[in-house]
A and B are shown apart, each in its own frame.
Chain A
Amino acid sequence: MPTPTYTLIDSVTTTAVAGSVTFSGVSPDFNDLVIVAEITANQYDSWLGLRFNGDTGSNYNDVEVYNTQSTSTASGTEIQLYGRLSDDSTCLFLINVFDYKATNKHKSLLARSNTPTGTRQTVGMYAGRWANTSAVTSITLFGGQGLELAIGATFYLYGIEA
């Protein structure tokens, strides 16, 4: 059997309305991470936030293209992925985090979002950077602007080996 190179580290399915989901104690055994999240929100229209290692400081930068809009944020308190999250549709996020355990560089990610139905149809692509050279040991995903994640949201964290 071939050596596995893409390994499930952890998975979460929300069984109650939740403000956030955290993957903690992320294994240092891989080179890159992939997060696959499928989310319906409990409320109407907001973004998915992402933070590393519980850092709530102004250490995040991102560039976003979603539908016909493009924005950028410098020194934000999270990376904002305009899915968009809504209570009448499901959004699929694919998030790639590169070189997450490196201690000689800031951490970067590329992401896609997909909301094909509902009143907030959105397709988007994002680049984000956490201005910190620490290895990533935890990842928190949360609804922006106080929005909650509905029951049944699924989150998968995969590690990719070299």
Chain B
Amino acid sequence: MGYQLIEHIEVGSGGAASMEFTGIPQDGVHLVLKLSLRNTDNNPDSAQVSLNSDTGDNYPQIQLLGDGSSASLQGLTMGFIRLAIPVSTYTANTFGSAELYISNYTSTSNKSMSGDSVGENNATLGRLKIDAFSYTTSSAITSIQVALFGDNYAQYSTASLYKITAD
């Protein structure tokens, strides 16, 4: 009932290129993905989240980004959901936080999502952004992939997936 943990993943020693949730139960209404992430390399500075292993250009999004000195707005369509994370040159022992809210994930309509994320850094290169996302498919969401392109998530990075039920 209510707000239930589906699965929690933590990256072990040696890092991991991705984390994945499969077989997502279809008895909820909304999903909430909570992330604590850090890259082992200096690039990219965004987690790449995909749904149902779909990496096609099916994720229209608009982001409002602040980096400590200016703010910018960008609308585009990509093959994944981008969430800010710290890279290896950012403040040590510092992981970025992100939350992705997926509304009506079992519906047969396009999926609407809200994202808040930060590439935490004790300097002016820290990045904070809020995003509006859509997943333009009528399929229910049955899996979520949290990936990086060509790099690894650092040890102690975590991903937790929750479902919100209608009772």
A6 and B3 form a contact (CB under 8 A): yes
Q: Which segment of B17-25, B61-69, B86-94, B153-161 sits at the interface? A: B61-69
Chain A residues, CB < 8 A from B103: 36, 38, 92, 154
Please give the distance in Å from B124's CB to the nearest CB on chain A: 20
Interface string of B126-137 (1 = CB under 8 A from A): 000011111010
Chain A residues, CB < 8 A from B104: 38, 154
A5 and B134 form a contact (CB under 8 A): no
Interface string of A1-40 (1 = CB under 8 A from B): 1001111100100000000000000000000000010100
Number of interface residues, chain A, beta carbon within 8 A:
30
Q: Which of A92-135 contact B (CB under 8 A)?
A: 92, 94, 112-117, 121-125
Please give the distance in Å from B128's CB to the nearest CB on chain A: 11
Q: Say yes or no: is B71 at the interface (Cβ < 8 Å to chain A).
A: yes
Q: Which of B15-62 contact A (CB under 8 A)?
A: 29-30, 60-62
Cα A67 to Cα B30 with chains together (Å) = 25
The chain B residue with its CB closest to the CB of A159 is B2
Q: Say yes or no: is B151 at the interface (Cβ < 8 Å to chain A).
A: no
Q: Say yes or no: is B110 at the interface (Cβ < 8 Å to chain A).
A: yes
B132 and A113 form a contact (CB under 8 A): yes
The one of B1, B3, B60, B101 in contact with A94, judged by C-beta atoms closer than 8 angstroms, is B101
Q: Say yes or no: is B164 at the interface (Cβ < 8 Å to chain A).
A: yes
Cα A125 to Cα B133 with chains together (Å) = 15
Chain A residues, CB < 8 A from B132: 92, 113-116, 121-123
Chain A residues, CB < 8 A from B30: 36, 156
Taking Cβ atoms with an 8 Å cutoff, the residues of A that contact B are 1, 4-8, 11, 36, 38, 65, 67-68, 90-92, 94, 112-117, 121-125, 154, 156, 158
